[in-house]
Amino acid sequence: MTTTHDPAVVDDQDRDFLHLCVDLAREAVENGDQPFGSLLVDATGAIRYRERNRVNTGDATRHPEFEIARFAAASLPADERASCVVYTSGEHCPMCSAAHAMAGLGSIVFASSSEQLRGWRREWGFRDPGPLAPLGISAVAPGIPVAGPEPSLCGEIRALHARTLGISDTAD
Ligand SMILES: [Zn+2]
């Protein structure tokens, strides 16, 4: 099957891939890590790489999207990289947006945005801005087509973040 992916629209196939990303995010939480999971999908719709957050190794660069960029740069020819889509449970951080663009990957579909995550954290009383400027994918890598968030998955992702932070969250 060949995908005819319109990068601006989250379609049913995209949602299926995003569900798998949320499963990876849940797996990360169950292994004591932060809830992020991502897939690299090629132009035929085949999953070429899947990864979850592994920052509890002590290496804060072990984001799944960064691992995907490195895998793609090492393993796929440039034309194939450009036709790949990266699906991810949470929008790329600035580090991963840069790695994605520098690896020459194609579009990105995310289930929840960085802005949503910042909002949830503020709501829960976390004011630490983190080490990076709050730049979305399009601010860091303006040439990358982006779709998201996908509202049907945001409640589940919010719940995973709450669980990670030890928050008793009543929103769905
Ligand atoms: Zn990242």
Give 151 Cα–ligand 1 centroid separation in angstroms.
21
Q: Which amino acid is at 9?
A: V
Q: What is the 3-state secondary structure (H, E, C) of the chain?
A: CCCCCCCCCCCHHHHHHHHHHHHHHHHHHHCCCCCCEEEEECCCCCEEEEEECCHHHCCCCCCHHHHHHHHHHHHCCHHHHHCCEEEEEECCCHHHHHHHHHCCCCCEEEEECHHHHHHHHHHCCCCCCCCCCCCCHHHHCCCCCEECCCHHHHHHHHHHHHHHHCCCCCCC
Give 66 Cα–ligand 1 centroid separation in angstroms.
6
Q: Which amino acid is at 75?
A: S
Angle at 132 between CA 130 and CA 135, to 5 degrees: 115
Asked if the model's pLDDT at residue 19 lies above 70, the reply is yes
- Backbone torsions φ then ψ of 168, nearest 5 degrees: -90, 105
Give 95 Cα–ligand 1 centroid separation in angstroms.
5
Give 153 Cα–ligand 1 centroid separation in angstroms.
19
Measured CA to CA, the distance from residue 22 to residue 89 in angstroms comes to: 5
Give 11 Cα–ligand 1 centroid separation in angstroms.
24
Q: Say what the pLDDT of residue 171 is.
A: 56
Two tokens, residue 167: 């928050």
What residues pack around ion ligand 1 (CB closer than 5 A)? 63, 93, 95-96
Give 76 Cα–ligand 1 centroid separation in angstroms.
21
Residues of the chain with pLDDT > 90, as a percent, come to 90
Q: Dump pLDDT digits (tens) for 61-79.
A: 999 999 999 999 999 999 9
Q: Say what the pLDDT of residue 146 is.
A: 97
- pTM for this prediction: 0.94
Asked if the model's pLDDT at residue 172 lies above 90, the reply is no
CA 127 to chain centre: 22
Query: What distances in angstroms separate CA 145 from CA 42, 45, 84, 155, 164, one per listed residue?
Result: 15, 17, 11, 24, 30
Boundaries of every domain in the chain? 12-165
Give 112 Cα–ligand 1 centroid separation in angstroms.
13
The correct answer on CATH 3.40.140.10 for the domain covering 12-165 is yes
Give 94 Cα–ligand 1 centroid separation in angstroms.
7
Give 4 Cα–ligand 1 centroid separation in angstroms.
27
Q: Say what the pLDDT of residue 88 is.
A: 98
Give 1 Cα–ligand 1 centroid separation in angstroms.
30
Q: Dump pLDDT digits (tens) for 104-160.
A: 999 999 999 999 999 999 999 999 888 999 999 999 999 999 999 999 999 999 999
